[in-house]
Amino acid sequence: MMRVSVGGRLHFGFGNLSLANERLYGSLGVALEAPRLSVTVERADSVTAPSECNSLTETVCEQLALPGATVTVDQSLPAHVGLGSGTQLALAITAGIAAAYERPVDVRNIAPQLGRGGRSGIGVATFEDGGFVLDGGHPTTRFTTDRPVDGTWSVPPVTARHRIPADWRFLVVLPEADAGHSGQTEDDSIRGVIERADSRPADRIAGLIVRDVLPAIATANADRFGSAVAEIGRLNGTWYADEQGGVYRPPVGEIVETLAAEPAVYGAGQSSWGPAVYGITDTNNAAAAREAGLAALEQAGLDGEVVLSEGRNEGAIVTSG
C-alpha cells in the first residue's frame, strides 16, 4: 500500500496569449501546503477507483503496462476552482501506482499521455519539486489556437524555480460559486482568447517578471512580489474579459478589490479561472489577512472557506504502509 500526498498550487497567469509572439503561454505559480490531496494505492488484478478517476487509473495502468490498482482518494482538492486539482490527482495516482509496483516513473514524461501539461507546466513542476515556478511555454507554431492531441506535446520546461521564503503566507479564499472552466469548455475559451489576444499586455508582463517577480522572490520581498503577480493577473484578465465576464470572473472581482485595499495583503488576484482568490502576506500579517479574507466573503454576500497556507518547497510525498 502506497500513499501519495501533495498540496494544491496557485496559478498567477500566463506570460503571453498572443499569436504575434514566438512563444505561447509561459506560466508562473507557487506550490501550496494546503489544501491537500491524498490518495492510497494498492496493487490489484484490475482497476477499482472512484468514478471520477476510474478512467484515469485505467489509462495510467495501460501506460505503465500494469494489470490494475485499487485507488482510494482519502483527501481531495476542491475541483475546478483554480488549485490544480486535476493535474495533482492524475500525477498522484501515477506516482502511487508506480510505487506500489516498485516501478520508476517520470511524471513529466507521462503527463501529456494523461492530458496534463498541455498549456501550463506549473502543476507538473510543483508536483515534482514544489517552490515558485516560471515555465517556458510552447512554441507558438506548435500550439496555435487548438491544443494538439493528448500525448503529442512535452510539458513546458521550467525556466526558473525558487524556494518560497519561510515567512511568506498565501491567503486562499474559496467562495461558494460556480466552478471555473475545465475540459472542452476551457479549451473553447482559451481558443477564443488566443484568436483575438492583443500582444501589448505580454510586453508589460515580461517586464514585470524580469524586473519585479524574480528579484522579489530572490530577495524575499513579499510586498514587491505580491503587487507584481497581482498586476500580472490583472493583465491576464484583460485577455479573458470577454470569456469570463470581466477582468475577474464574477463574483471574484469584488473579493479581489476588497483584499487589495487591506494593508496586510500585499497583492490579490484570481488563480487560473477561479473562483479561488489568492492574497500574498507574511507571518506578521497572517492573522489580519485571514480576517480580511473572511470579511471579503461577507462583504460579497457569499459563503465560502478561507485557508492560510505556507508555500511548499518539496514535491509530492510518497510513503508506504
Written as one string, the DSSP assignment of 130-191 is -SEEEE--EETTTSSSSPPPTTSS-PPPEEEEEPPPTTEEEEEEEES------HHHHHHHHH
CATH of the domain at 94: 3.30.70.890
Residue 107, CB half-sphere, CA atoms under 13 Å: how many? 26
Is beta strand 2-16 parallel, antiparallel or unpaired with respect to 158-162? Answer: unpaired
Q: How far apart are CA 116 and CA 125, in angstroms?
A: 11
Q: What is the DSSP letter of 311?
A: B
pLDDT tens, the chain, 321 aa long: 999 999 999 999 999 999 999 999 999 999 999 999 999 999 999 999 999 999 999 999 999 999 999 999 999 999 999 999 999 999 999 999 999 999 999 999 999 999 999 899 999 999 999 999 999 999 988 766 566 777 778 999 999 999 999 999 999 999 999 875 566 677 777 888 898 999 999 999 999 999 999 999 999 999 999 999 999 999 999 999 988 999 999 999 999 999 999 999 999 999 999 999 999 999 999 999 999 999 999 999 999 999 999 999 999 999 997
So what's the pLDDT on residue 62? Answer: 97
**Parent domain of 81:** 2-320
Q: How far apart are CA 185 and CA 183, in angstroms?
A: 5
Tell me phi and psi for residue 10, to 5 degrees: -105, 140
So what's the pLDDT on residue 321? Answer: 79
Q: How far apart are CA 193 and CA 249, in angstroms?
A: 14
Q: At what angle do helices 252-260 and 286-299 cross, to 10 degrees?
A: 140
Number of domains in the chain: 1
Q: Kindly report the number of other CB atoms within 10 A of residue 195's CB atom.
A: 11
Which run of H or of E encompasses 47?
strand 47-48
